[in-house]
Amino acid sequence: MNRHFRPSVSMPRIYLYRDPVDFRKSYRGLAALVEQQIGHNPFDGGLYAFTNRRRNKIKLLFWEDNGFVLYYKALAEEKFRWPRPEDDVMALSGEQINWLLDGYDIGRMQGHKKLHYEAVF
């Protein structure tokens, strides 16, 4: 499977905006949302993920050296499993944003619980 246009799993700052966004917004409108609603500097190298109301499209916004990169994916049949809007923004890892693009529900993905022992016996 060819995934050359995916975000790098080593990308350090990825933010998912949980509320749906009007997808008529271009990179300028999304950058303004990052600045005004999220309170981040859209030129600082963070990757920002947005979805539409139907959750069948996703846009990723990223400033790269001298211009914005806009990644857009529209699903043919299914919907993205977007985390619930408990907070406006959710930080993700590079691995998690790729899981989201693959259709996994990152809100439910939990690892095994951590165990802490004081002794073997």
CA atoms of 40 and 38, how far apart (whole Å): 6
β-bridge partners, 63: 68
Lowest mean pLDDT among 32-36, 70-74, 106-110, 117-121: 106-110
Report the chain's mean pLDDT, rounded to a whole number: 87
The pLDDT > 70 percentage for the chain reads: 88
* Among candidate residues 72, 59, 62, 83, the one with its CA nearest the CA of residue 13: 62
Q: Over the stretch 25-65, which tens digit does the pLDDT of each residue have? A: 999 999 999 999 999 999 999 999 999 999 999 999 999 99
pLDDT at 9: 84
CA atoms of 39 and 37, how far apart (whole Å): 6
pLDDT at 38: 92
CA atoms of 88 and 75, how far apart (whole Å): 23
Backbone angles phi, psi at 36, to 5 degrees: -85, -40
β-bridge partners, 61: 48, 70
